[in-house]
Homo-oligomer: A and B are copies of this chain.
Amino acid sequence: IMVASLLWSFHITAIWKLQTTHRTVMCSIDEEVAKLLQLKAQLGGEDGKHVFVLKTAKGTRDYNPKQMAIREKVFNTIIGCFKRHGAETIDTPVFELKETLTGKYGEDSKLIYDLKDQGGELLSLRYDLTVPFARYLAMNKITNIKRYHIAKVYRRDNPAMTRGRYREFYQCDFDIAGQYDPMIPDAECLKIVYEILSELDLGDFRIKVNDRRILDGMFAMCGVPDEKFRTICSTVDKLDKASWEDVKNEMVKEKGLSEGVADQIGEYVSMQGGMDLAERLLQDPKLSQSKQACAGLADMKQLFSYLQLFQVTDKVLFDLSLARGLDYYTGVIYEAVLSQMIQAPVVAEQNGALPGDEASVSVGSVAGGGRYDGLVGMFDPKGKKVPCVGVSIGIERIFSIMEQKAELLAEKVRTTETQVLVASAQKNLLEERLKLTTELWNAGIKAEVLYKKNPKLLTQLQHCEETGIPLVAILGEQELKDGVVKLRKVASREEVDVPREELVEELKRRTSKLP
């Protein structure tokens, strides 16, 4: 009743305003409607009970401890690789001045989250880590850096959460900025992708490479008008999901190319190979006419020679159909794809599908990047360029795959690292348990103790089984009298008395062998 009368008084206010003043009417109505909708949302319906909507924001999710354990493992592998290659790390704020992001993402700008204007600067949530990186370089006048950055980015996309796509998701970027001899840093980026995908053990994969200059030269020689390069590029980019027929159709019917031009493009984009292909295309009567294409092809040859030294050519493929969406690439581009389709259980959502539902998921691209020599210059007051090349690891897809794998193999994922539970077999031993636990903590042993005065031994053992704690240190009257601790292996139920003063050493000895 109270709610109804509140709503009514809002209506009355709105109508009253309608009748009295003319000037502010349209604005006022909009405001009143907004207020009413907000009130309604807060009230959660018409029943007058204030109910919280218990959910996370659309397109976002919590990570539970099991997901976090997998996430930590993946991060450790990736960060380990970045550090092996001598990378530093930086961090930037989650929001940037709105204008920092303006004009960097083309059509995708509509997916940027803006903050409400609460008086002060206009701010937006970061859309990727590359633009903040370029801003950081220009702002601090840094011309040389090899850095990684792992952080969340935000896109108001329509999320396909079942396929591991969210509005809040991690990016995991490695970039090398600086003026160096050609293709050496570019080759190291590919080496890094190779190492990470191998170490994560995600099955077979391929890394496709191409070069924007080769694409542009090819378009020019096939007769595509300059102003259509980028849009034809986007169409070519669809070849990983669509057939040539569909792609050609889009080129001819939507983008206005002639059939002849499209067919010439079609011949090139079906080509795949290695260094040999680059050499052959340098002799190609059409491509060799384009300075741009020749520069790209010469660099491609150079790239493959370094990739041979890095021992990664078995997975790298020069593929003329690779185009990549982003405008800012200026040279080599690449993308890693997993070879298998993976059967994915639908991610359990709080407000949607049931866990256990199955959906066929094409994993597709798990890493991508390229050279972008112009982006930093967009931020420099004098337009001073800093050449950059980098790669972004598609960490969310990798999480999904790892989660699936854990589920399929019915792996027990441990969410804690506790090595030993301090337990008692009899009553009234809380003090003794806390004393021993303190000894262990002070010696750097990962130890737990149940927060109960008199827990049953069974309860204590069950806690170990559930959480995967491998050892139990059991105290009883007899053990205390004898100055020993009964050390029990949870898996085998073997028990042995260990002198109290040797317990820390014994635990260290045993846990150093445990996974």
Contact = CB atoms under 8 A, between A and B. Distances in A.
Given A42-B102, A89-B65, A431-B309, A152 B94 contact: yes
Contact of A147 (B38, B65, B176, B350): B65
A168 B65 contact: no
Interface stretch (A24-32, A329-337, A478-486, A493-501): A24-32
- Counting chain B CB atoms within 10 Å of each CB, the highest count among A102, A122, A310, A441 belongs to A441
Task: Pick the 7 closest A-B CB pairs, nearest first.
Answer: A180-B451, A65-B88, A60-B93, A86-B448, A114-B116, A63-B91, A309-B434
Given A85-B448, A113-B115, A64 B140 contact: yes
Interface residues of A, number: 104
A441 B118 contact: no
A93 B135 contact: no
Contact of A54 (B102, B135, B444): B135
Interface stretch (A208-216, A400-408, A414-422): A414-422
A367 B291 CA distance: 63
Given A65-B89, A90-B62, A379 B52 contact: yes
Given A26-B27, A68-B88, A181-B452, A442 B311 contact: yes
A495 B430 CA distance: 59
Contacts of A435: 309
Given A61-B93, A63-B91, A139 B451 contact: no
Interface string A410-453: 00000111100000000000110011001001101111100111
A84 B445 contact: yes
Interface in A61-94: 61-65, 68-69, 71-72, 83-94
Contact of A83 (B71, B85, B417, B451): B417
B156 A118 contact: yes
A95 B306 contact: no
A90 B61 CA distance: 11
Interface in A103-140: 113-118, 120-123, 125, 135-136, 138-140
A381 B54 contact: yes
A147 B92 CA distance: 26
Contacts of A451: 176, 178, 180-181, 184-185, 188
Interface in A217-258: none
A128 to B, nearest CB: 15
Interface string A143-157: 001010000101010
A350 B139 contact: yes
A178 B418 CA distance: 19
Contacts of A381: 51-52, 54
Contacts of A123: 57
Contacts of A30: 27
A453 to B, nearest CB: 5
A135 B90 CA distance: 31
24 contacts: A51-B381, A55-B97, A57-B93, A57-B97, A60-B93, A63-B92, A64-B140, A65-B88, A65-B145, A65-B147, A68-B88, A71-B91, A86-B446, A86-B448, A88-B415, A88-B416, A93-B168, A94-B152, A115-B116, A118-B156, A181-B430, A181-B453, A184-B451, A185-B451
Contacts of A434: 184, 306, 309-310
A120 B159 CA distance: 14
Contact of A94 (B168, B415, B445): B168
Interface of A: 22-27, 30, 38, 41-42, 51-58, 60-65, 68-69, 71-72, 83-97, 99-100, 102, 113-118, 120-123, 125, 135-136, 138-140, 145, 147, 152, 154, 156, 168, 176, 178, 180-181, 184-185, 188, 191, 195, 306, 309-311, 350, 378-379, 381, 415-418, 430-431, 434-435, 438, 441-442, 444-448, 451-453
B441 A191 contact: yes
A442 B311 CA distance: 10
Q: In this complex, which of A115, A117, A156 has the most chain B Cβ atoms within 10 angstroms of its Cβ?
A: A115
A90 B118 contact: no
Nearest to A440: B84
A90 B63 contact: yes
B38 A122 contact: yes
A122 B152 CA distance: 20
Given A62-B90, A62-B140, A113-B115, 6 more contacts: A53-B97, A53-B99, A54-B381, A65-B88, A84-B441, A93-B168
Contact of A25 (B23, B100, B430): B23
Nearest to A310: B438
Contacts of A51: 381
Given A38-B122, A181-B453, A309-B431, A52 B441 contact: no
